[in-house]
Amino acid sequence: MSADARITGVCAALAARLGVPVADLHPLPDTGLAHDHVRIGDSGTLARVPKQSQLGLAAVENLDYQAGCFARAAASDHTPGLHEKLPPDAQLPMGALIVDLIDGRPLSLPGDLTAMAECLATIHALPLPDVDDRAPLKNPVDPMADTFMEIMTQAAYIAAADLHPDAESRIREELQAAGATLARKARPPRTLIAFDAHPGNYLMTPDGRAVLVDLEKARYGAAAFDLAHATLYTSTTWDVGSHAVLDRAQVDTFHRAWLNAVPAELAAATEPWLLPLRRMMWLWSVTWCAKWRVESRQAAAAADRMSTENWSAELSTDTLVAHVADRVADYLDPETITRVRADWRDEASPSAIARAG
């Protein structure tokens, strides 16, 4: 099924479930691999319709998880409100969430860096629920080890991803260095994090707030992962609307804005982890690129559907798939890898608040 035919079916299903005319449903441009977004008339709301589960969850569990993400972040006042959950059925096999439609524009970097830092700070500073109340969100015993295991699972795709030998060698060097970081006894503090904090996932409102609109992978983990994902080259050049290449001083300014916006105890405990987890978040991103390059070649019908994770190119428009392929090629290029890892390898970097080891 083509992407156009699929979104037509999505709108018909939404119209039936919501009791509104199909003409009142307006699909937004296809800019993401995980969701379709459909504006619901003049209601001020938006349907988020999963194409797949990035966490590999079954449809009901995936929708419950995403609803939990929005509910937990709501108190930050920097995320869309959750209105309704439409359970999966035959017409909407992954279900849908109805959330606030945010009136805003894409981030303009570096000018909106401070607003992005303040948005994340409001989420990271939220009080932690009791351990028994953190489900359904991920709350691993060791968030850093859990993330490293995700990285290593994705790294299994490297051999089949047609990487230049120099690119593969440099990635494997960084995997070894990240393993050494993991061997430390010390651990960063735990907070609610987005784990998908790249600049394309925010909108700037007319009152000057950055709103994080994509929360499907939120979990309890290390805030430094979000700070890295917000400012790495592999994040700031991902989305066309917010595309920017930040220099080291600008990244340092972003870090300082966040450190000044969160409680002093959280800032002090997070600061030493800014560069070690920058490396680890970059590794998560480039190993995901290897995984996408391999799995996007699979036809949706031929892929193993024991879970609902599906990176098949058939789920998105040709334009989006071509854009992602271009970004993946850049991020896996040996020269790009060398430039990015200078962030934590170059002693002269002003953002070397802590040494990555």
Strands (E), 55-118: 82-86, 96-100
Q: Which amino acid is at 94?
A: M
The confidence score (pLDDT) of residue 184 equals 95
Domain 3-100 has CATH 3.10.180.10: no
Q: Indicate the length of the chain as a whole number.
A: 357
Q: DSSP code of 212? A: E
What are 256's two structure tokens?
């300082």
Q: Which amino acid is at 127?
A: P
The confidence score (pLDDT) of residue 310 equals 53
Residues of the chain above pLDDT 90, percent: 82
Asked if the domains 3-100 and 113-345 are classified in one and the same CATH topology, the answer is: no
Outline where 207-333 has alpha helix (H): 223-231, 233-236, 248-261, 264-270, 274-295, 318-331
Q: DSSP code of 126? A: S
C-alpha to C-alpha distance for 79 and 120, rounded to whole angstroms: 10
Residues of the chain with pLDDT under 70: 1, 299-316, 347-357
The confidence score (pLDDT) of residue 355 equals 39
What are 261's two structure tokens?
């916006």
Superfamily of domain 113-345: Aminoglycoside phosphotransferase (APH), C-terminal lobe (3.90.1200.10)
- DSSP H/E element including 191: strand 191-193
User: Would you say 74 and 93 are in contact if contact means Cβ atoms under 8 Å apart?
Assistant: no
What are 137's two structure tokens?
């969100």
User: Would you say 72 and 127 are in contact if contact means Cβ atoms under 8 Å apart?
Assistant: no
Angle at CA 276, nearest 5°, toward 283 and 73?
A: 80
What are 89's two structure tokens?
């059925």
C-alpha to C-alpha distance for 140 and 134, rounded to whole angstroms: 10
- Domain spans in the chain, listed from the N-terminal domain onward: 3-100, 113-345
Angle at CA 266, nearest 5°, toward 219 and 250?
A: 90
Q: Is 99 helix (H, G, I), strand (E, B) or coil?
A: strand
C-alpha to C-alpha distance for 100 and 43, rounded to whole angstroms: 9
The confidence score (pLDDT) of residue 297 equals 82
Q: Which amino acid is at 107?
A: L
The confidence score (pLDDT) of residue 306 equals 46
C-alpha to C-alpha distance for 175 and 140, rounded to whole angstroms: 21
Q: Which amino acid is at 38?
A: V
